[in-house]
Amino acid sequence: MSVSICVRDLSLSYVLREKLTLARRDKRAPTGGRIEGSGRNQVITALSGINFELEAGDRLGLVGSNGAGKTTLLKVLYGIYPPTSGSIAIQGRVDALFNINLGFRREATGRRNIVLRGLINGWSMQEIEARMEEIIEFSELGEFIDLPFKSYSQGMAARLAFSTATSMQPEILLMDEWIGAGDPRFQEKAKIRLANLAEKAGIVVIASHNHALLKKTCNKILTLDQGTISAFQSESEWAALDRN
């Protein structure tokens, strides 16, 4: 069965809790989307009328300002947030990287955290052990793999998370902004691995403000503005507009 993602008229709304205020100084207040109603009836429309299709080999970049709905859309695709209306049809095994600390314990070593993340993903111990050395080698952590995760720099943590999540070749991979972390050489390795995943009948969806990264990695670009699609373009179309 070939992998695919089909999103039809997807929307996500939720009620604004009364204890939250819209004051700029209140960092708890949600950002992005549209606020409708007043008083206790205020509703946030985080996503509205989202439509797109992806097939095997596609690498989609999500762009837009902060609060445009990029991360929210990723979480809806992963099943964290159920859509208020519309539909999502996904064929293929999905893995996601929204947070480099997801599934990792600060006190545990890098090696132990590979096991923990693998178990969370539903891998068997046999599968984890078979991939262990390849994950360590790709992450370039060397002897640091047996030190506590809390001692890692952001770049080291990112390398370990990326290496672990992509080692089992997920059929669909959802990634957030942090993929740009790390040195340029590792970013090049990551780009090649993402391309290989897509070539092996996979789909990659990346949300990022790093347009240069997306140009190198993606063949389609979806631009979000206040939770709605303002453009859905091929790589060449987006590059042409960017030059102008």
In a domain, 157, yes or no: yes
Q: What is the pLDDT of residue 25?
A: 38
* Cβ–Cβ < 8 Å for 75, 32: no
In a domain, 158, yes or no: yes
CATH number at residue 195: 3.40.50.300
Domain count, the chain: 1
Is the pLDDT reported for residue 21 higher than 50?
Answer: no
- DSSP string over 21-38: ---TT-TTS--SSEEES-
Task: Report the Cα 1 to chain-centroid distance in Å.
Answer: 23
Residue with tokens 């042409």: 240
**44 or 124: which carries more pLDDT confidence?**
124
In whole numbers, what is the pLDDT of the chain averaged over residues? Answer: 84
Query: At residue 188, does pLDDT exceed 90?
Result: no
Rounded CA-CA distance 243/63 in Å is 17
Mean pLDDT over residues 128-142, rounded? 95
- Supply 99's token pair: 């947070």
Residues 6+ apart with CB under 8 A from 198: 56, 57, 58, 59, 204
Q: Tokens standing for 66?
A: 């902060």
Whole domain around residue 201: which residue ranges?
Answer: 57-79+93-243
- As a whole-number percent, the residues of the chain with pLDDT over 70 amount to 81
Is 36 inside a domain boundary? Answer: no
**Sign of the torsion angle spanned by Cα atoms 244, 183, 161, 67:** negative
In a domain, 4, yes or no: no
pLDDT in tens, 149-174: 999 998 899 899 889 888 877 789 89
Inside any domain, residue 153: yes
How many angstroms separate the CA atoms of 70 and 62, rounded?
A: 6
Q: Which residues of 59-89 are buried (b: 16+ CB within 10 A; e: fewer)?
A: bbbbbbeebbbbbbbbbbbbeebebbebeee
Is residue 30, in this structure, part of any structural domain at all? no
Residue 121 forms part of a structural domain: yes
Whether residue 27 lies inside any domain: the answer is no
For the entire predicted model, the pTM comes to 0.76
